[in-house]
């Protein structure tokens, strides 16, 4: 289950949010074994984000992914994310920062999934 949280310092309309969600769904498929079917997305707009002393349009993305310790597909995912923010919110690619987190264990309801179960 990948989880993508994006924070931007610009307003995001409902239509733009849906476009972002759809692009994130396609982008996550660049990571082997991942798809939109299991993707959880959060979009936070109008955040107070500053970079190098200015608040020009900026995006910070946290992408947490289960069972991809080799980080396969992350470069392509990052490129697609930067492209999505440029196309939809006009945020320059050099102002889109992606932070990755490795998820070793997660759960939903009474189901627990631990990476060690697959080793």
Q: How confident is the model at residue 111 (pLDDT cuts 50, 70, 90)?
A: confident
For the stretch 72-110, what's the b/e string if a residue is b when 16 or more beta carbons lie within 10 angstroms of its beta carbon?
ebbeebbebbbebbbebbebeeebbbbeeeeeeeeeeee
**pLDDT over threshold 70, residue 118:** no
Express each pLDDT in 4-44 by its tens digit: 999 999 999 999 999 999 999 999 999 999 999 989 999 99
- Model pTM score: 0.91
Q: Mean of the pLDDT values across residues 93-111?
A: 90
| Phi and psi, residue 59, nearest 5° | -130, 135
């Amino acid at each position: 289950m990948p989880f993508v949280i994006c924070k931007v310092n610009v307003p995001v309309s409902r239509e733009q949010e849906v476009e972002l969600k759809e692009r994130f769904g396609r982008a996550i498929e660049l990571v082997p074994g991942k798809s939109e079917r299991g993707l959880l997305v959060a979009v936070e707009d109008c955040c107070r984000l500053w970079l190098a002393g200015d608040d020009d349009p900026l995006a910070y993305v946290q992408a947490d992914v289960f069972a991809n310790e080799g980080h396969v597909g992350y470069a392509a995912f990052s490129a697609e994310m930067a492209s999505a923010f440029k196309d939809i919110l006009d945020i320059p690619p050099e102002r889109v920062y992606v932070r990755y987190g490795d998820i070793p264990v997660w759960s939903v309801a009474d189901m627990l999934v631990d990476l060690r179960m697959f080793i």
